Amino acid sequence: MTEHPPRSVLLASPRSFCAGVERAIEIVERLLDQRGGPIYVRKQIVHNIHVVRSLEARGAVFVEELSEVPAGATVVFSAHGVSPAVRAEAVSRSLDVLDATCPLVAKVHAEAKRFAERGDTIVLIGHAGHEEVEGTLGEAPDQMVLVETVDDVEALDVTGPVSYLTQTTLAVDETADVIEALQRKFPQLRGPGSDDICYATTNRQIAIRDVAAQSDLVLVVGSKNSSNSVRMVELAARGGTPAYLIDDASEIDPAWLAGVSTVGLSAGASAPPELVDEVVSALRALGSVTVSTHTTATETVSFTLPLAVRRAG
């Protein structure tokens, strides 16, 4: 039997669920408890396959579009938010809507409406095709343009007042470069009153950056369509540490661990914390492991549930 050298696992903290994700999942869980299934959810409630499968097993039905929801049925809007057109469609089909949009995403929507009302062209920094971006663009489709990179900014041909917004789950350092490019191109540029990149995204990036600097390998638990999880992997890799995104412990390739003495471990804001525990157990199965935690922030944020699902007990 091959003897594996002892390894250290350095847990990044904060990690796993953020307040917006917890709120969205709880909305669906409470609806299932109160009304039974099926409860329809437009898109994935949060971007994690394990969360989706767990809720499906309890009676949630995930659909791509509202046309798949029977008229008059209960439907939940995902944490990523929706456009006004989707809301109007729900009204026209007499759907019973519960809105699980993260309040920090809703803040960006409100800013988009405010900037549009004053006549600005709004530059949205984000990733094309992401559900949050599609919802935000829908607030003022004739006045918004999407950019992802500094090169995109240089290619803009815009006159008149310009403001900017960002997707909430972007890489903080890369987004700062894009904002600086916008400020150079549009000296009168106006932005949101506070950063649109959410506290949870920022905190997890700071923590994984610190952990990566002390590790030989970084593992981030999260699904491939989770923007904040992907950004964490990219951030660790930019610092020179090999980094991998895994949905769960089954995706660990033992070859990654060759010559590795310290494994940095975190999870995106939509990944259940128990998946991190399972990764630690899997690493223990491969040899002696000591676990320590590197904490860079303490999160105390919580969001109120919609009145329709609140109840005692």
Q: Going by C-beta distance under 8 Å and a sequence separation of 6 or more, which residues neighbour residue 133?
A: 124, 126, 127, 146, 167
Q: CA-CA distance, 10 to 46, in Å (whole number)?
A: 26
92 is annotated as contributing to ligand binding = no
Task: State the catalytic residue, choosing from 22, 89, 111, 132.
Answer: 132
Rounded to 5°, angle at Cα 130 from 43 and 40: 10
Q: Does the annotation list 225 as a binding residue?
A: no
What is the Cα 128 distance to its own chain's centre? 15
CB 77 within 8 A of CB 101: yes
Q: How far apart are CA 28 and CA 15, in angstroms?
A: 22
In whole angstroms, what is the distance from residue 151 CA to residue 155 CA?
A: 6
Q: Is 198 annotated as a binding residue?
A: yes
User: Binding residue per annotation — 227?
Assistant: yes
- 296 is known to lie in a ligand binding site: no
Nearest to 76 by CA among 301, 87, 269, 84: 87
109 labelled ligand-binding: no
Residue 60 carries which side chain, given as an amino acid letter? Answer: A
Query: Is 111 a catalytic site residue?
Result: no
For 19, half-sphere exposure in the C-beta direction (CA atoms, 13 angstrom radius) is 15
Is 102 annotated as ligand-binding?
yes
Supply the DSSP string of 228-269, one letter for each residue: HHHHHHHHHHHTT--EEEESSGGG--GGGGTT-SEEEEEE-T
Q: Within the chain, how many helices (H) and strands (E) appear?
A: 10, 12
- Residue ranges for the known binding site for [4Fe-4S] cluster are 18, 102, 198
- Residue ranges for the known binding site for dimethylallyl diphosphate are 47, 80, 130, 226-228, 270
- Residue ranges for the known binding site are 18, 47, 80, 102, 130, 168, 198, 226-228, 270
Which residues are the active-site residues?
Answer: 132
- Residue ranges for the known binding site for isopentenyl diphosphate are 47, 80, 130, 226-228, 270
